[in-house]
């Protein structure tokens, strides 16, 4: 039996501070705003907050471009506010997981300001530099995730620097021992403040070998993580979760097998690409294949086995809202939101909720690119326009996949600006706030909020939800059903992932449902477990 950890038992809630709650009427969410809402989060029942970056930043990529890792972004508050947030959260048994963005810094970070001064500057090697290619152009074909080449010419020294994201996010050179030690020192600064862990931004890129055009899963990646573990969080029981777009279950075990002393778990994104055209980018839309979705989930549930740990999520600040994406945010908004919650939280792993998910916030369409705020979206728009795509087609992709969808202000009430702020927010609110908001959700005992609250409470009371084995059932494509088994107990989870009615028959005719655990609509328990599922129906029963 493996040692058990607190981070396997809790549910984590992600906060994107800019859009969570504005406390001082400047239209931008901030740390005191988060502190104001801790009672709400305690009521939901979460055990940790993953806080998207709150460090000093010029905000080219909303804080994912950090100019000082040991200072708080002026707009968000002060270091005193941060210390208070950690303490106030702690009083409510909530740990604060910081976002660790160390694949790159801002170009305004003191290290980069020094590095670009001259080729022999002591900080030069903190970053990745290369000479122009033989024909005088970019060193090689590496591309930025935010469109265009990943190389930017520095006029002063005539060399290019690498930026796998924006030009204002130069990549750190992890091959340089000094960089690694500086990062570990900074991590210890935060650990000493009593934080609960780190979410590690694009951590699979730190082993890059740019001259060979290797970015993800480079040869020294796991060596660096083992070194980091030893130098920082290894002595404490912290939650560490790596953002790893390229992970397979085999790779995830390298990160999260406890014997290897690397991370607690990773975010895997295999299912996230299911609604894009093969060989295309995320903007090249395709319908999701539910059969594949089930197979991918089942694979991750069974293959990590005892040699790793899963994270479970539908949403984050980079993804469109799942309720609008694969759920139904019009006719079945409440039903499909609850179904998605039940389907996810009943799986094995640590569940993550993204702000607003617990009240069923939806995507927000734009009609013109001037309404977009996200650098990824804006750069892609320019690139595709230049490549001959129509404006309408690009806007359509943005509305389905763009990151701004997740970044609209949290809808707290039906007051002006959704109760997020007293002035016009930095990004427009979704107009549906008058009916979809926290105040409404708390007042309605049948709201999506209370399904999440119940799932979290069930998790605390039932070890089977945390530790039970997973077994996928063979059902019709739109029906996603599985068993969890633990110490002689069996739970059956049945969900209908569609707008249509579907039959469900449990294969073992002897089995009886003895108790309803949770459901998203009223249900008569038929002893034979033969039923006609309504659109988006979901329920969990104990079996005997
Ligand atoms: O995201 C990594 C990343 O690869 C994203 O750019 C992703 O490809 C895209 O959003 C999905 O379409 C992380 C952060 O989560 C993101 O917010 C940052 O912009 C990025 O790293 C750079 O730090
Ligand atoms: Ca503010």
Please write down the HEC assignment for all residues of 53-94.
Answer: CCEECCCCCCCCCCCEEEEECHHHCCHHHHHHHHHHHHHCCC
Contact 490, 543 (CB under 8 A): yes
How many whole angstroms from 27 Cα to the centroid of ligand 2?
6
Reduce the DSSP state of residue 433 to 3 states and report it: helix
201 in catalytic set: yes
Ligand 1 midpoint to CA 14 (Å):
15
Question: Is 243 among the residues known to form the active site?
Answer: yes
Of the residues 243, 262, 270, 404, only one is catalytic, namely 243
Tokens matching residue 510: 């002897």
Q: How far is Cα 149 from Cα 167, in angstroms, rounded to an integer?
A: 10
What does the H/E/C string look like for 193-246? CCCCEEEECCHHHCCCEHHHCECCCCCCHHHHHHHHHHHCHHHCCCEEEEECCC
Which of 16, 147, 148, 201 has most ligand 1 atoms within 8 Å of its beta carbon, as the pocket-test mutant? 201
β-pairing, 95-100 vs 48-51, is parallel
75 CA → ligand 2 middle, Å: 6
Cα(292) to centroid(ligand 2), Å: 43
265-267 and 502-505 strand pairing: unpaired
Structural domain boundaries in the chain: 9-104+177-452, 110-162, 468-543
Count Cα neighbours of 163 within 13 Å in the Cβ-side half-sphere. 23
ipTM for the complex shown? 0.97
Could you say which ligand is closest to the alpha carbon of residue 22? 2
pLDDT in tens, the chain (544 residues): 689 999 999 999 999 999 999 999 999 999 999 999 999 999 999 999 999 999 999 999 999 999 999 999 999 999 999 999 999 999 999 999 999 999 999 999 999 999 999 999 999 999 999 999 999 999 999 999 999 999 999 999 999 999 999 999 999 999 999 999 999 999 999 999 999 999 999 999 999 999 999 999 999 999 999 999 999 999 999 999 999 999 999 999 999 999 999 999 999 999 999 999 999 999 999 999 999 999 999 999 999 988 999 999 999 999 999 999 999 999 999 999 999 999 999 999 999 999 999 999 999 999 999 999 999 999 999 999 999 999 999 999 999 999 999 999 999 999 999 999 999 999 999 999 999 999 999 999 999 999 999 999 999 999 999 999 999 999 999 999 999 999 999 999 999 999 999 999 998 888 999 999 999 999 987 667 889 999 999 999 999 9
Pocket of ligand 1, beta carbon within 6 A: 61, 64, 101, 145, 165, 201-202, 243, 245, 282, 317-318, 376, 403
Which residue's CA lies nearest to atom 18 of ligand 1? 64
- Residues paired with residue 311 on neighbouring β-strands, in sequence order: 350
Tell me how many helices (H) and strands (E) the chain has: 16, 20
Residue 291 CA to ligand 2 center (angstroms) comes to 44
Four-way CATH pick for 110-162: 3.90.180.10, 3.30.479.30, 3.90.400.10, 3.40.50.10860: 3.90.400.10
The gap from C-alpha 439 to its chain's centroid, in whole angstroms, comes to 25
Name the DSSP class of 409: P
Residue nearest to atom 11 of ligand 1 (CA): 318
Give the homologous superfamily in CATH for domain 9-104+177-452: Glycosidases (3.20.20.80)
* CATH number of the domain located at residue range(s) 468-543 in this protein: 2.60.40.1180
Of 201, 262, 270, 335, which one is the catalytic site residue? 201
Could you say which DSSP state residue 127 is in? B
Quote the CA–CA distance of 185 and 182 in Å, as a whole number: 5
531: three-class secondary structure by DSSP: strand
* Two tokens, residue 521: 């609509």
Nearest CA to ligand 1 atom 10: 318
Most ligand 1 atoms within 8 A of CB, residue of 17, 104, 318 to mutate: 318
Q: How many CB atoms lie within 10 A of CB 80?
A: 10
Ligand 1 atom with the shortest distance to the CA of 316: 15
């Amino acid at each position: 039996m493996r040692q058990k950890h607190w981070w396997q038992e809790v549910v984590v809630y992600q906060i994107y501070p800019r859009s969570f709650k504005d406390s001082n009427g400047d239209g931008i969410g901030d740390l005191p705003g988060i502190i104001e809402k801790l009672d709400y989060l305690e009521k939901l029942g979460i055990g940790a907050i993953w806080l998207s970056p709150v460090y000093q930043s010029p905000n080219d990529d909303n804080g994912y471009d950090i100019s000082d890792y040991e200072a708080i972004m002026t707009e968000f508050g002060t270091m005193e506010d941060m210390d208070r947030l950690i303490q106030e959260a702690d009083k409510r048994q909530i740990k604060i997981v910081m976002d660790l963005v160390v694949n790159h810094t801002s170009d305004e970070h003191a290290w980069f300001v020094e590095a670009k001064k001259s080729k022999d500057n002591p900080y030069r090697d903190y970053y990745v530099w290369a000479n122009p290619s033989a024909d005088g152009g970019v060193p090689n074909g590496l591309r930025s995730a935010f469109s265009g080449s990943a190389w930017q010419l520095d006029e002063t020294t005539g060399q290019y620097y690498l930026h796998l994201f924006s030009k204002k996010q130069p990549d750190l050179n992890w091959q340089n021992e000094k960089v690694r030690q500086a990062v570990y020192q900074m991590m210890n600064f935060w650990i000493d403040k009593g934080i609960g862990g780190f979410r590690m931004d694009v951590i699979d890129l730190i082993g890059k070998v740019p001259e060979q055009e290797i970015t993800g899963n480079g040869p020294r990646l796991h060596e660096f993580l083992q070194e980091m573990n030893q130098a920082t969080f290894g002595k404490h029981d912290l939650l560490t979760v790596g953002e790893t777009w390229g992970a397979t279950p085999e790779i995830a075990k390298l990160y999260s097998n406890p014997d290897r002393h690397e991370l607690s778990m990773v975010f895997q994104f295999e299912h996230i690409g299911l609604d894009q055209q093969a060989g295309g980018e995320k903007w090249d839309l395709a319908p999701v294949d539910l059969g594949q979705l089930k197979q991918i989930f089942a694979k991750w549930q069974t293959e990590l086995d005892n040699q790793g740990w899963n994270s479970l999520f539908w949403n984050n600040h980079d993804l469109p809202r799942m309720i609008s994406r694969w759920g139904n945010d019009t006719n079945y908004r409440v039903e499909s939101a609850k179904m998605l919650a039940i389907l996810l939280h009943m799986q094995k792993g640590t569940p993550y909720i993204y702000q607003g998910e617990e009240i069923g916030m939806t995507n927000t369409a734009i009609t013109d690119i001037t309404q977009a705020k996200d650098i990824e979206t804006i750069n892609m728009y320019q690139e595709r326009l230049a490549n001959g795509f129509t404006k309408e087609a690009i806007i359509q992709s943005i509305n389905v996949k763009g990151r701004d969808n997740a970044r609209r202000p949290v809808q707290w009430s039906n007051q002006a600006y959704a109760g997020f702020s007293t002035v016009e927010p930095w990004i427009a609110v979704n107009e549906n706030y008058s009916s979809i908001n926290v105040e409404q959700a708390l007042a309605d005992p049948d709201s999506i909020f209370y399904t999440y609250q119940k799932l979290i409470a069930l998790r605390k009371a039932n070890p089977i939800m945390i530790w039970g084995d997973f077994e996928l059932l063979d059902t019709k494509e739109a029906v996603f059903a599985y068993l969890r088994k633990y110490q002689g107990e069996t739970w059956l989870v049945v969900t209908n992932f569609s707008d249509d009615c579907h039959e469900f028959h449990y294969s073992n005719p002897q089995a009886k449902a003895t108790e309803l655990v949770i459901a998203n609509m009223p249900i008569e328990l038929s002893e034979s477990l033969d039923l006609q599922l309504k659109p988006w129906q979901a329920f969990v029963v104990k079996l005997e």
